[in-house]
Amino acid sequence: MAYFSSEYECKLDAKGRIVLPSRIKANLPEGNGNTIVITRGFEPCLVLYPQIEWQKVFSKVSGLNEFNEEFRNFQRNFFRGNTEAELDNNGRFLVPKPMLKHAQLEKDAIVVGMGNRIEIWNPDLYNNFLISDQKEFSKLAEKYLGDNKNAE
């Protein structure tokens, strides 16, 4: 299983290529480590999956009942524009223009390790999606990770 964490400031070159930070690249799985899948995020960002993690997501989404209109609509929107990218020897890959537009990426980017996947954000947009109130963050941690036996 791949594991990615932390935030990294990166730059896109004039051709729309980005270099994955060395710590991110080092955590790509052996074997298909030079191939990643790029998808549009639900928020205005890009999501990168190593092949092994993408297969898990792909199985879930493609396993939905194709005879259900809502499932088909979700699959259509989820799979549209996904692309495989090969990392070159420097850990660099080309981001397709429609994806650059979706994430509003121009020169600067924030690469964020999200456990089994990587997100790429426009730095200004990324800050809008972060929780700035530490009490709110603490409440979410308690809600999702706290021991419910002690909550009375």
Amino acid at 46: L
Domains of the chain (ranges, CATH numbers): 7-150 (3.40.1550.20)
pLDDT in tens, 45-93: 999 999 999 999 999 999 999 999 999 999 999 999 899 999 998 889 9
Predicted local distance difference test score (pLDDT) of residue 130: 93
Nearest to 116 by CA among 62, 51, 63, 61: 51
Predicted local distance difference test score (pLDDT) of residue 147: 77
Nearest to 45 by CA among 135, 149, 116, 129: 129
Amino acid at 81: G
Q: Which long-range contacts link 22-25 to residues 24+ away (Cβ below 8 Å)?
A: 22/91, 24/111, 24/113, 24/118, 25/87, 25/91
Does an H or E element contain 46, and which?
Answer: strand 46-50
Residues 3 and 87: their CA atoms lie apart, in Å, by: 18
Percent of the chain at pLDDT exceeding 90: 82
